[in-house]
Structure 1
Amino acid sequence: MTTRDRFPARHPTGRAKPGLPPDPPKPAGRPPGLPPSGLRRWLLPVLVAVTLLLVLVTRVPSGTADRYSYTDFTGRVGAGQVKTVEITDKGAVSGTLKDGTKFTTQIPTALDNSGLTRQLQTQQVEITAKSTGGGSVLTTLFVFLPLIVLVGLFLWSGRAASKAMTGGLSAIGRSRAKIIEAERPNTRFADVAGYEGVKQEVSEVVEYLRSPERYAAAGAKGPRGVIMVGPPGTGKTLLARAVAGEAEVAFLSVTGSAFVEMFVGVGASRVRDLFEEARKRAPSIVFIDEIDAVGARRGGGARLGGNDEREQTLNQLLAEMDGFDQSAGIVVLAATNRPDALDPALLRPGRFDRQVTVPLPNQAERAAVLAVHAHGKTLAEDVDLGRTARATPGFSGADLANLVNEAAINAVHAGRTVITALDLDTARDRVLLGRREPSNALLPEERRAVAVHESGHALMAALCEHADPVAKVTILPAGMALGATEQLPEAERHLYSEGYLEDLLAVQLGGRAAELVVFGEGSSGAANDLANATVVATRMVREFGLSAALGPVGYASGTPQYLGESLEDRLRRPYSEQTQHVVDEEVARLLRQAEQRAVDLLRGHRRHLDELAGRLMAEETVDGKVVLAVLGAGQPPTSLRKP
């Protein structure tokens, strides 16, 4: 069961610790990077609006005037209807008639208009001449105003972009670390549930930062760096904050992706600035989260610009870790879930001296994590966090936090403030299977097929000697699953015997075997079972050496299990095609053997299979006690073991 990570803990209380220096005074003025004030924000839009309004006012003529043709105009002059005219040197005419009507027209400048002049004088029309040449300063301004506005807009945008880069070009190379002073990190080891071994390993950092003179007296040097490796969600970042909280030193936190951006050389500059800030606040802790973003392996050959920039940043980080004075009290913590991708130069002694593995929590740690996240919530008397911890193998701290939150949401939907055991079970189904859709109803024949399928899983789990006990069987669809058979491990397993793995294959193929026994044919409902069984059988043959044909040979992948097998691992298999052929044959043999075993065992319990399927169709969900009751109280489970 693959899950994600983030370590659970109570939220910090935020109280200050006595005897520590206060925060440094904040500089006066407006900090860079903040949005402009209200007046500056509205200045440019208002200026543009006023400009457009002025242009429109100057362009639109005052009042309304009739437009006459030249022929119509001369006719009205001859009729004595025109009172006044105003003629420009371009031939534009505007005037008024004797009845007060305003008009405009255009005189053809290419024609001889001396006759029109005599006609106007004969009719005693008041003539006014107007020149359009040169123009006023205001007119010229209005002509060039759009261009001035555009230039101003470009200048304003350039200045705004420069200020947005955290104070201009001079601040691009500044590190973007979140600096938390000594009184701020109040997370302690007590806030981190479980992981006693991990706490003991990183406690050396705390002891060194608290009393470096003890190390100096013995001639010992404290750790330069500690890298925490583990699946996502296991709490590596929280553990780093707890180290800073226990040591009561400054905590500078930055992510690996914050070093490399679009500008060449920015990453190396930010690394230098980060360590310079750490020296100013020594003793201090520098925490680099997701260090694989900047510390990945360096490659040879042709390199692209982005890759070259990342390598320059990594080189600067290596140089800084080598160059700072160890007596200054600076320790570098880092976290990653991709240790296979890190450059070997980063992991050598003298840089990262410790590599601490933060695994998924075991059963006792899961119970402690659940208790932390249940703090402040009202739990019913039937809630057993130990049972919930047993039912959640492979869950990380983040998954457990999500589980408790989903249970609280279920209680809210039911109109309650108390979380019950049913809420936790429903939340677990939601996390593992998906949301249950009431509208996703099955056809009657599909419903019976799912009941038979899940009954096969449940009976095989009850009849096989090494299988985990059945906790619940349901035929209610949830997510992509049409039904589910949940098994509850009795204890946390770290080693899996051959007998347990064979029983596991038989249980996984029990649903398909039940369909073959009852219906005489299989269905698509066993697709996920077949995929999981194939993975188990492949690891038995390829990694665990449990195949007589292949012998005690293991071809394990170098990738950690929580990362999964990559395409590169598949393409670079450390064995030949002939060996792959033997692996395929052995996997098929194990699966056929497990299926035949399940078919034979279910045929001997056909009556119990039909009875359990009938109970499921009637009740939809039954618990493990019902499965045992169907098999008969006091009847010892019979197991058809491999001879």
Structure 2
Amino acid sequence: MITRVRQAFSGRHETRSAKPGPPNEPPKPAPPSAPSWRRWLLPIGIAITLLLLIVRGMSAGPPTASLPYSDFVSDVNAGKVAAIRVNETGDVHGTLKDGKGFVSRIPTALNNAQLEGRLHAKGVKITATRSGGSATAFFLMFLPLLVIIGLFMWSGQAAQRSMAGGVGGFGRSKAKIIEAERPTTRFADVAGYEGVKREISEIVDFLRHPDRYAAAGAKPPRGVIMVGPPGTGKTLIARAVAGEAEVPFLSVTGSAFVEMFVGVGASRVRDLFDNARKRAPSIIFMDEIDAIGGKRGARLITGGHDEREQTLNQLLAEMDGFDQSSGIVLLAATNRPETLDPALLRPGRFDRQVIIPLPNQAERAAILAVHAKSTHLADDVDLDRIARGTPGFSGADLANLINEGAINAVRAGRTVINAADLDAARDRVLLGRRETSNALLPEERRAVAVHESGHALLAALCEHADPVAKVTILPAGLTLGVTEQLPEAERHLYSEGYLTDLLTVRLGGRAAELVVFGEGSTGAADDLAGATQIAARMVREFGLSSTLGPVGYATGSPQYLGAPTEDALLRPYSEQTQRIIDEETSRLLRRAEERATKLLRDHRRALDRLTELLVEQETVAGDTVLSVLREEEDIAPLRTAKPVSARSRT
């Protein structure tokens, strides 16, 4: 299997083995926030309720027992009763001489004159009452419930008065407003992207000095949208703008406008722009704008009344309502520009589209230096070499690379990161975790060695191929072996000769298996898939087929979104053209395989020698491949370019 650096023409540059001075006027003060005491309302209400319940329980007196009428008469005859209260229905509430309370009931059908005489004879104090209790007791019974209901009603009305969006503030924008305390990130903290920073800084400068631009007749941009692959630092640049700007900065994500209630998104858009106008001049940053800025009419089932479309319509109306002298600029970011509605991207709304691509080699070195500031690097670490070996890495990938290197150093009990740690981290980022427990059978080990030797030798023999950095047969992730190549320079254009050599190297593993074993294996599955994709693009997009001619059917999708999905109903060519494309793709692959097989047969001794070294050492450097060819006096076909050496890792 072969792992190459990420290619610009294949989407990702990698294929893997096997499977801002002061403004004119000060900003207007923000609306007053809710008083801090409001948060204590509910706890206070609960405390009052509990207190009332406790007081009522304490005032209820001693516990009472229910006595049958016969027991009540017996206690009267025995002189145990001290006092009773009797109502017109015969309910008795009494107290015994020992202080205990009781309740009973006198049957109204009986003659109570005799009972009354016994009560007088025993000196029992008799009090007559009315049934139904007092109004105070009734009020205390329902007071806790009334207090809780009143607190909730009062707090709800207060929320409605303080929030223009209604109950709970659903219609209020969830934008984070940055005015006084700004982020510490500045443009100096963003490595590389000087052109991007220069263009974005012009927006900040315009908000700081609008008169200077007005004197030249320049109109301010209404919106700037940053487009680029994930991880290239769009949000980081926005934070730097907030740090550099001396104007209010309102930050919000596209998903913050989406709610389950119809019309909430449009209400939040209105509130967002109202806040921006109150603080003008100001900047609005909307991250992941594709969440609400998708093409209208794309959802055929939901139709034109979709909540996202209402939100988008309100956003378009607000941008049209901009007063160019108001000093409001909308800054947005997305990695899916093809999904945005054309009305959003037209001049007058988003006037500028800033492309933030993957960093080049110099920018990668600067990014690595920024992320390495908080670490301790050994003297053998060369950030320029690491940057050269990581083409196609985004800023987020490079940050992850440094972090993985630090983790490797900690595992080894060190606090200093050396070059081997970063090499291992690069392998993990590209290939996955090294499987030390995934032991290969002896025959599988040799087959993988033959396969990788084929890739490595052809990379050294083909004139336009990138030099070999390292060859290993240690399993990692889904790969059983890896041949790593590093480009001599960062390419932007690829010649036909380079692509032809690329196909030959891709098929070198399968060709080596055919030469040594006489048959192929499943180990070439990923190589075949990658080679087929490259050959198909050579025919269909690059016009490198004499049969089909100078015709190109480009996909039109951004490369950083991955390989485009092909739909037969959307193909701009006929079935007959597709048949020609298939035949030409097959022809290119067969020719590359025949060439690879012939070169390996001509250098069979070098193939066997490199195979034995791999079986013995498991990992060899790129210089070893060239040494094997020199030993066999096969140095003549080699190009004179200086190869790349790589640290061996076993």
Q: Which residue of 1 is the match for residue 323 of structure 2?
A: 324
CA distance, structure 2, for counterparts of residue 53 and residue 517 of structure 1:
93
Q: Which residue of 1 is the match for residue 634 of structure 2?
A: 635
1:455 paired with 2:453, answer yes
SS at match of 2:456: helix
Aligned partner letter, 1:592: R
SS at match of 2:304: coil
1:436 Cα shift?
Answer: 2.6
Equivalent residue runs for 1:212-361 within 5 Å? 212-242=210-240, 248-299=246-297, 302-320=303-321, 323-326=322-325, 328-361=326-359
Kept in 2, the 8 Å contact 1:260–1:309? The answer is no
Aligned partner letter, 1:386: D
Equivalent residue runs for 1:89-238 within 5 Å? 133-136=131-134, 140=138, 151=149, 155=153, 169=167, 172-181=170-179, 184=182, 187-202=185-200, 204-206=202-204, 208-238=206-236
CA distance, structure 1, for counterparts of residue 174 and residue 480 of structure 2:
49
1:529 paired with 2:527, answer yes
CA distance, structure 2, for counterparts of residue 408 and residue 459 of structure 1:
34
CA distance, structure 2, for counterparts of residue 628 and residue 25 of structure 1:
71
Q: Which residue of 1 is the match for residue 378 of structure 2?
A: 380
Kept in 1, the 8 Å contact 2:512–2:600? The answer is yes
CA distance, structure 2, for counterparts of residue 494 and residue 58 of structure 1:
89
CA distance, structure 1, for counterparts of residue 566 and residue 122 of structure 2:
97
Deviations 1:530-572 (A, max 9, x none): 3222221221121112223322211111211112355576641
SS at match of 1:449: helix
Q: Which residue of 2 is the match for residue 13 of structure 1?
A: none
SS at match of 1:380: coil
Q: Which residue of 2 is the match for residue 417 of structure 1?
A: 415
Aligned partner letter, 1:318: M
Pick one of 364, 387, 412 that aligns with 1:389.
387
Kept in 2, the 8 Å contact 1:541–1:547? The answer is yes
Relative to 1, partners in 2 of residues 1:605 and 1:254: Cα closer, same or farther, differing over 3 Å? Answer: same
Relative to 1, partners in 2 of residues 1:324 and 1:625: Cα closer, same or farther, differing over 3 Å? Answer: same
SS at match of 1:253: strand
Pick one of 465, 468, 471 that aligns with 1:470.
468
1:491 Cα shift?
Answer: 0.5
1:593 Cα shift?
Answer: 3.3
CA distance, structure 1, for counterparts of residue 21 and residue 327 of structure 2:
22
Kept in 1, the 8 Å contact 2:265–2:308? The answer is no
Deviations 1:66-124 (A, max 9, x none): x99999x89x98xx9997799999999999999x9x999999989x8789x99x98xx9
Deviations 1:202-230 (A, max 9, x none): 45435544544443333333433332221
Deviations 1:581-631 (A, max 9, x none): 332333333333333433343344344333333323332222112222223
Unmatched segments (≥5 aa) in structure 1: 5-16
Aligned partner letter, 1:324: D
1:446 Cα shift?
Answer: 3.6
Pick one of 506, 512, 515 that aligns with 1:514.
512
1:348 Cα shift?
Answer: 2.4
1:487 Cα shift?
Answer: 0.9
CA distance, structure 2, for counterparts of residue 126 and residue 208 of structure 1:
100
Aligned partner letter, 2:621: D
Relative to 1, partners in 2 of residues 1:270 and 1:146: Cα closer, same or farther, differing over 3 Å? Answer: closer
CA distance, structure 2, for counterparts of residue 33 and residue 576 of structure 1:
69
CA distance, structure 2, for counterparts of residue 525 and residue 153 of structure 1:
71
Deviations 1:28-82 (A, max 9, x none): 98x4498965x546445556766887999999x97798x99999x89x98xx999
1:164 Cα shift?
Answer: 11
Aligned partner letter, 2:502: L
Relative to 1, partners in 2 of residues 1:586 and 1:154: Cα closer, same or farther, differing over 3 Å? Answer: farther
SS at match of 1:296: coil
CA distance, structure 1, for counterparts of residue 163 and residue 602 of structure 2:
75
Deviations 1:407-442 (A, max 9, x none): 222223323232211111111112112223433444
Kept in 2, the 8 Å contact 1:506–1:598? The answer is yes
CA distance, structure 1, for counterparts of residue 459 and residue 418 of structure 2:
27
Deviations 1:488-537 (A, max 9, x none): 11100111122222222222222333334444444433333232222212
Relative to 1, partners in 2 of residues 1:144 and 1:447: Cα closer, same or farther, differing over 3 Å? Answer: farther
CA distance, structure 2, for counterparts of residue 362 and residue 377 of structure 1:
23
SS at match of 2:475: coil
Unmatched segments (≥5 aa) in structure 2: 1-5, 14-19, 639-650
Kept in 2, the 8 Å contact 1:226–1:333? The answer is yes
When the two structures are superposed, what TM-score results if normalisation uses the length of structure 1?
0.78
CA distance, structure 2, for counterparts of residue 618 and residue 161 of structure 1:
75
CA distance, structure 2, for counterparts of residue 126 and residue 317 of structure 1:
90
Aligned partner letter, 1:253: S
Kept in 2, the 8 Å contact 1:265–1:312? The answer is no
SS at match of 1:332: strand
Relative to 1, partners in 2 of residues 1:631 and 1:23: Cα closer, same or farther, differing over 3 Å? Answer: farther
1:138 Cα shift?
Answer: 6.8
Aligned partner letter, 1:500: Y
Equivalent residue runs for 1:28-107 within 5 Å? 31-32=33-34, 37=39, 40=41, 42-43=43-44, 46=47
SS at match of 1:402: helix
SS at match of 2:225: strand
Pick one of 483, 506, 530 that aligns with 1:485.
483
CA distance, structure 1, for counterparts of residue 503 and residue 104 of structure 2:
99
1:281 Cα shift?
Answer: 4.2
CA distance, structure 1, for counterparts of residue 349 and residue 205 of structure 2:
19
Kept in 1, the 8 Å contact 2:222–2:324? The answer is no
Q: Which residue of 2 is the match for residue 620 of structure 1?
A: 618
Equivalent residue runs for 1:474-623 within 5 Å? 474-565=472-563, 567=565, 571-623=569-621
Kept in 1, the 8 Å contact 2:165–2:267? The answer is no
Kept in 1, the 8 Å contact 2:164–2:171? The answer is no
Kept in 2, the 8 Å contact 1:455–1:511? The answer is yes
Kept in 2, the 8 Å contact 1:252–1:286? The answer is yes
Kept in 2, the 8 Å contact 1:251–1:287? The answer is yes
| Number of aligned residues | 616
SS at match of 2:195: helix
Moved more, 168-177 or 302-311: 168-177
SS at match of 2:556: coil
Relative to 1, partners in 2 of residues 1:23 and 1:473: Cα closer, same or farther, differing over 3 Å? Answer: farther
Q: Which residue of 1 is the match for residue 401 of structure 2?
A: 403
Aligned partner letter, 2:176: K
1:187 Cα shift?
Answer: 4.8
Kept in 2, the 8 Å contact 1:463–1:637? The answer is no
Relative to 1, partners in 2 of residues 1:307 and 1:179: Cα closer, same or farther, differing over 3 Å? Answer: closer
